[in-house]
Amino acid sequence: MKQQISVDGETRIFPIIGHPIGQVKSPASLSQIMADRGFNGLVVPLHILPEDLSGWLAQAKAMRNVNGIVITVPHKVPCLAFCARASDRAKASGAVNIMIREDDHWIGDATDGHGYMDGIAAEGFDVAGKPALLVGAGGAGSAIAYEILARGASELALHDIDVQRRDALLARLNQAFPGKARAGSTDPRGFALVANATPLGMREGDPLPVQVEHLSADQFVADVVTRPAVPPLIAAARAKGCGTMPGSGMFDAQAVLLAELLMGNRKIVA
């Protein structure tokens, strides 16, 4: 039975920051997980512009009832620089999606890849020993790329329109997983897993992130986009007979993990 969410002077506040922020679904669910576990906490969405990030983080450190921050687009990469320590997966991906206060410092982790791949596994697909294509080398994409290889993919082809960002991530990935990552394209042929980690599909009229006319029913297609509930890429993949996971699968898979980190029931190894 769900417990009522209450707010009082003892409430721990956990901002979730992004630009834009209207697409996030986690504040209510994370707050509800906390309430159900008897923890007095509230996750609050905040719209922070990139040019205001540094100043806002300084203010957040001064708020003594802010014990952690959840980070979404486009702040995941720059927030890593504000962490005194970070997990190995955060350092390898070059981004964080959660920061936990430790005294007067932030400790960072990147759980997006964990949630993304757990969501895919929940749909019955295992990437181990199979080739994967990932589009998007931003904060979420970097964490997903790391996790795809950590779970045993035979190779990862990475595509991003920002070639410098793509190559920087490839260098970090090949340091952690020698010879496993290379540059890719939007052509999905030859890959068992086709994964989108860009916001394409969130706005009406967005182009599709991959060449969907080349998809085949033996492929699995995954997306980070949570709104609309069935993103255009997923709709196109389902029309081809592919197994799929929309962004809600990633969100559901990592919700409990994020809540436990925020509550202090699980620690970031950094």
SS (H, E, C) 158-196: EECCCHHHHHHHHHHHHHHCCCCEEECCCCCCCCCEEEE
pLDDT digit string, tens, across residues 153-179 = 999 999 999 999 999 999 999 999 999
pLDDT of residue 179: 97
- Percentage of the chain beyond pLDDT 90 is 89
Q: What is the average pLDDT score of the chain?
A: 95
Helix-then-strand count for the chain, H and E: 9, 12
pLDDT band at 270; cut points 50, 70, 90? confident
Active site (annotated) includes residue 240: no
Query: Which residue among 76, 91, 180, 240 is the active-site one?
Result: 76
Give yes or no for residue 118 having a pLDDT over 90.
yes
pLDDT band at 2; cut points 50, 70, 90? confident
Domain parsing of the chain, residue ranges: 12-111+251-263, 113-250
The mean pLDDT of 109-119, rounded to a whole number, is 94
Q: Please, what sign has the CA dihedral across residues 36, 70, 157, 195?
A: positive
Q: Using omega within 30 degrees of 0 as the cis cutoff, is the peptide bond preceding 209 cis?
A: no
pLDDT digit string, tens, across residues 70-88 = 999 899 999 999 999 999 8
Q: State pTM to two decimals.
A: 0.85
Are 12-111+251-263 and 113-250 in the same CATH fold? yes
Question: What's the CATH fold of domain 113-250?
Answer: Rossmann fold (3.40.50)
Give yes or no for residue 12 having a pLDDT over 90.
yes
Enter the DSSP assignment of 37.
Answer: T
For the beta sheet containing 131-135, the strands, ordered from the edge strand earlier in sequence to the opposite edge, are 181-183, 155-159, 131-135, 193-196, 220-223, 243-245
The mean pLDDT of 97-115, rounded to a whole number, is 95
Cross-strand partners of 70: 16, 98
Enter the DSSP assignment of 11.
Answer: P
Tokens matching residue 211: 């060449």
Q: Which residues of 212-249 are buried (b: 16+ CB within 10 A; e: fewer)?
A: beebeeebbbbbbbbeeeebbbbebbeebebbbbbbbb
Give yes or no for residue 113 having a pLDDT over 90.
yes
pLDDT digit string, tens, across residues 217-254 = 999 999 999 889 999 999 999 999 999 999 999 988 99
pLDDT of residue 43: 98
In angstroms, the CA 185 to CA 179 distance is 18
pLDDT of residue 178: 97
Enter the DSSP assignment of 157.
Answer: E
CATH of region 12-111+251-263, choose from 3.40.1830.10, 3.40.50.10860, 3.40.47.10, 3.30.70.1350:
3.40.50.10860
pLDDT band at 192; cut points 50, 70, 90? very high
In angstroms, the CA 66 to CA 42 distance is 10
